A and B are shown apart, each in its own frame.
Chain A
Amino acid sequence: MDESNKYVYYKIVDKPGLSIDTLYQRAIYAADKLGLQYENVESDAVHSVFGKDKLIVYSGSSIMRKASGEIAYKLDMETKDSKYRYKIYDFVFTPYKRDRFNNMVAEPGIFIPIEELASKYGKKDADAYLDQLGLFCKTTGDKIKVYIDKAQVIKKLETTKKVDTDKW
């Protein structure tokens, strides 16, 4: 929770030796890779990328699993010399309903801060959505780290094992 009692996923990462501009360009690269809608702002001390997006959350399992809502969120990345920070916050849930064509679609005009999910949908559903959101935040944080580190992903070549069918 932050000081306003709102859920937030927040990290500060030290990157010794990297300039504010380098980290800023990598943050923009990360925003592109994450598919965010974003705007970027430069000031003397801090360069920032302000992004937003949605994730879909599910209920049920196996063949009974279906999309049951979407959570809108904001994702901000700020860079300084030798460090950056990011936070994922302002989570707002919109439930899905089944339309006449049997597609799950968002209910227009319903916006529920996730802090109020339990009071609107009960603890079981709220916990399930929060679990999915938590996993999403962790995964997104890991991706930001990879994008900003510019880590090279080296694919290990696997040789196909051959067998000699003449010898048995």
Chain B
Amino acid sequence: MKKKLLLLSFFAASAFVVKAQETPADPPLEISGSVDTYYKYDFSKHSNIPTSFASDQNSISIGMIDLALKKKVGKASFVGELSFGPRGQSQSLPNADGNYDETVNSYHIQNLYVSYDVTDQFNLTGGYMATFMGYEVISPVGNFNYSTSYLFTNGPFQNPGFKATYTFSDKASLMAGIFNDSWNLYQSVSKVNTFGAQLMVAPVEGWTAYINLLTGKLSGTEIDLTTSYQITDAFKLGLNAADFSAADVVGTGGFSGIALYPQVAVSKDVTLGVRGEYFKTKDGSYLTYGPQPGSSVTSFTFTANIKGGPLTFIPEIRFDNNKSENDGFFKSGAVPTKNASQFVLAAVYAF
């Protein structure tokens, strides 16, 4: 016979409860964000690796303070996300004139968009939005590794535009949108003619895959696969693969690459992970943040995430190996070399 013991302790609270399917009261203005700081030491005694953030050699430096506001009333919502600091200004955002310039003030805007749920399945969103492409993001809270991949650094950061998303079920959704002619800028160069689309599928529980396309006469064409699979409670495997071809008016060439992200939780508060990346530049005139056109780089980053409440410590060691000595790495004394390595210790507080 079953015991009929009720959870009397449950009744003590006077907390907020919202049932998913019922119409809840409109939530208040939400504030969230993060702050991050880091120390980096490149073993050649100067900065070598050209990917984003963690840029300062032998320095205790700051990333950014990221402040995000969100409000939803009924079916309408907005997000405004401001960032201050090198990571949140000249390293990821242009100024009003479209340049990445450390010496003058910037707009500080990471996200600024409005959104409307036409139905439970159909949503319209417009404004200046973080890109839907790729595995890694600007916010350090959204990444496992603190340094970033070549695929991230060379892909778009933001795409201003207008998009419509239809959610078929928990297992599939489709987004299509029209975006400004150039990535990342707060305004178009002259047209709104970049087409973007994203198909999301979740074939099995814990596995999500995003197939992304972004193509335009000025922005070029990037096809991207971003997927992650939580295979067990402790083990997660992520993958990002992309191919980019520059627009004819910009030049010839582009890049392609693949990155794998296996991660294993060894305890409640500690997760270990590796990022292994192969990044290849195509022959042509288009220059990347990476090796010269027609070359390649292989990179391995070993990272730990050690959590203490909302604070995460991220020690990381990274080894990059270019195909050629002439691809941009130098030993101390400015001697060209194929190899670069660095150590980073970062701290990220999320709120």
Query: Closest Cβ of chain B: how far from A36's Cβ, in Å?
Result: 8
Bitwise, A127-168 to B at CB < 8 A (1) or not (0) is: 010111111111110000000000000000000000000000
Q: Are A128 and B15 in contact (CB under 8 A)?
A: yes
CA distance A64 to B30 in the complex (A): 6
- Which residues of chain B in 197-228 are interfacial with respect to chain A, using CB atoms and an 8 Å cutoff? 202, 205-208, 228
Q: Are B206 and A99 in contact (CB under 8 A)?
A: no
- A63 CB-CB contact with B under 8 Å: yes
For A140, the chain B residues whose CB sits under 8 A away are 19
From B14, B21, B129, B207, give the contact of A35 (CB < 8 A): B21
Among residues of A, the one whose C-beta sits closest to the C-beta of B130 is A100
Among residues of B, the one whose C-beta sits closest to the C-beta of A71 is B20
From A58, A109, A112, give the contact of B206 (CB < 8 A): A109
- Which residues of chain A in 1-55 are interfacial with respect to chain B, using CB atoms and an 8 Å cutoff? 1-3, 7-12, 34-36, 53-55
Q: Are B11 and A134 in contact (CB under 8 A)?
A: yes
Query: Closest Cβ of chain A: how far from B282's Cβ, in Å?
Result: 27
Q: Are B7 and A7 in contact (CB under 8 A)?
A: yes
- B9 CB-CB contact with A under 8 Å: yes
**Interface size bucket, A side?**
35 or more
From A2, A65, A101, A120, give the contact of B129 (CB < 8 A): A101
CA distance A11 to B2 in the complex (A): 12
Q: Are B17 and A102 in contact (CB under 8 A)?
A: no
From B7, B17, B27, B68, give the contact of A132 (CB < 8 A): B17
Q: Are B12 and A12 in contact (CB under 8 A)?
A: no
Contact A130-B18, Cβ < 8 Å, known A2-B2, A64-B351, A109-B230: no
Q: Are A100 and B139 in contact (CB under 8 A)?
A: yes
For B350, the chain A residues whose CB sits under 8 A away are 98
- Which residues of chain A in 60-116 are interfacial with respect to chain B, using CB atoms and an 8 Å cutoff? 62-66, 70, 97-103, 107-112
Contact A102-B142, Cβ < 8 Å, known A108-B206, A109-B230, A131-B10: no
Q: Are A100 and B137 in contact (CB under 8 A)?
A: yes
CA distance A8 to B131 in the complex (A): 43
Query: Closest Cβ of chain B: how far from A57's Cβ, in Å?
Result: 8
CA distance A124 to B137 in the complex (A): 30
- B303 CB-CB contact with A under 8 Å: no
Contact A132-B29, Cβ < 8 Å, known A98-B139, A101-B129, A102-B79: no
Q: Are A108 and B230 in contact (CB under 8 A)?
A: yes
Q: Are B17 and A136 in contact (CB under 8 A)?
A: yes
Q: Are B10 and A98 in contact (CB under 8 A)?
A: no
Contact A70-B230, Cβ < 8 Å, known A65-B27, A100-B130, A128-B15: no
Q: Are B12 and A101 in contact (CB under 8 A)?
A: no
Among residues of A, the one whose C-beta sits closest to the C-beta of B30 is A66
For B21, the chain A residues whose CB sits under 8 A away are 34-36, 53
For B228, the chain A residues whose CB sits under 8 A away are 108
Query: Closest Cβ of chain A: how far from B223's Cβ, in Å?
Result: 19
Q: Are A131 and B13 in contact (CB under 8 A)?
A: yes
Query: Closest Cβ of chain B: how far from A52's Cβ, in Å?
Result: 11
Q: Are B15 and A132 in contact (CB under 8 A)?
A: yes
Q: Are A110 and B233 in contact (CB under 8 A)?
A: yes
- B249 CB-CB contact with A under 8 Å: no
CA distance A57 to B11 in the complex (A): 15
Contact A134-B27, Cβ < 8 Å, known A35-B21, A99-B142, A109-B205: no
- B174 CB-CB contact with A under 8 Å: no
- Which residues of chain B in 107-156 are interfacial with respect to chain A, using CB atoms and an 8 Å cutoff? 111, 113, 129-132, 137-139, 141-142
For A99, the chain B residues whose CB sits under 8 A away are 142
Among residues of B, the one whose C-beta sits closest to the C-beta of A61 is B16
Contact A98-B141, Cβ < 8 Å, known A1-B5, A70-B20, A132-B13: yes
Among residues of B, the one whose C-beta sits closest to the C-beta of A60 is B351
Q: Are B20 and A53 in contact (CB under 8 A)?
A: yes
Q: Are A55 and B20 in contact (CB under 8 A)?
A: yes
- Which residues of chain B in 1-59 are interfacial with respect to chain A, using CB atoms and an 8 Å cutoff? 2-7, 9-22, 27-32
8 shortest A-B CB distances, which residue pairs? A134-B10, A109-B206, A109-B230, A131-B13, A35-B21, A100-B130, A100-B137, A132-B15
Please list the residues of chain B having a beta carbon within 8 angstroms of any beta carbon in chain A: 2-7, 9-22, 27-32, 68, 70, 79, 81, 111, 113, 129-132, 137-139, 141-142, 202, 205-208, 228-231, 233, 236, 268, 309, 350-351
Please list the residues of chain A having a beta carbon within 8 angstroms of any beta carbon in chain B: 1-3, 7-12, 34-36, 53-58, 62-66, 70, 97-103, 107-112, 119-120, 122, 128, 130-140
14 other A-B residue contacts (CB within 8 Å) besides A10-B6, A108-B230: A1-B3, A3-B2, A8-B5, A9-B6, A35-B20, A55-B18, A56-B18, A63-B28, A63-B31, A98-B139, A101-B129, A102-B70, A132-B17, A135-B11
